[in-house]
Amino acid sequence: MIRIAILYICTGQYKVFWNDFYESFQAQFLPKCQKKYFVFTDQGDLCHKENVHIVYIPHQEWPYNTLMRFEFFLKEKKELESFDFIYFFNANMKCNRIINEQEILPDIEKGEKLIVAIHPLYKNTKSRHCPFERNPNSKAYIPYKQECKYIMGSLNGGEAKAYLSLIAELAYDTKLDLERGIIARVHDESYLNAFVTKQSPDTVRYLSPSYVYPMDLSPNYPAYISMLDKRDFFDVFEFKKCRRRSFLIRAFNKIKRYLYEDIAYLILWMKVR
């Protein structure tokens, strides 16, 4: 039987998502496979199921509880090596239908090693307008001239050896940036995107946004795996210790950023010409 390791982080208020996550994934995610959940949490009594392994981590202020995820995962490297495939899922995800092996496991015979998901907000966005890390001093740097798909950090996985290699490299990159006072633009997601762009295209399978369906936006496509709206469960802005900007300020900043990115891209194009 295929052995699957599922990585899951829930500290602080994120514990409210655990029961829905576990029940839905246990019933519908790869039901013919043997699954073990590695739950990284500050809640010692979160669960006592036989196939759930609790790994204690202290709750950290935003963004470190998500930024440092790859370092957390390395704590369990030795045990993870015994699995066939490893997957990470965000805390607020819920599996809505049967997900079978053919659709979500990499096809090893075709050379696939990793699985990632296209970000719902940027599935039709030009690469230069996606929130890649643009600081050339960062290990997550992706230049404006590089055309690539923007993936979401909420779901990723693959063949165990390849995924453990990903974890080790991104833990190192994150630590190196922090030592130099750099926090990537979208934290762990930025490092994941940078890593994927360096891989051979035939080794990575891109899942559609149906596998990371945002419930707060309710887009017009199927929801195979949903991302529950965190705002229905707790005050996200209080959790992140930040203040929600008004719609006008957010719109103005987005327009300003798009103009800057278009100008930067034009300058690069002119240099190449």
Catalytic residues: 189
Helix (H), strand (E), coil (C) string for the chain: CCEEEEEEEECHHHHHHHHHHHHHHHHHECCCCEEEEEEEECCCCCCCCCCEEEEECCCCCCCHHHHCHHHHHHCCHHHHCCCCEEEEECCCEEECCCECHHHHCCCHHHCCCEEEEECHHHCCCCHHHCCCECCCCCCCECCCCCCCCCEEEEEEEEEHHHHHHHHHHHHHHHHHHHHCCCCCCCCHHHHHHHHHHCCCHHHEEEECHHHHEECCCCCCCCCCEEECCHHHCCCHHHHCCCCCCCHHHHHHHHHHHHHHHHHHHHHHHHHHC
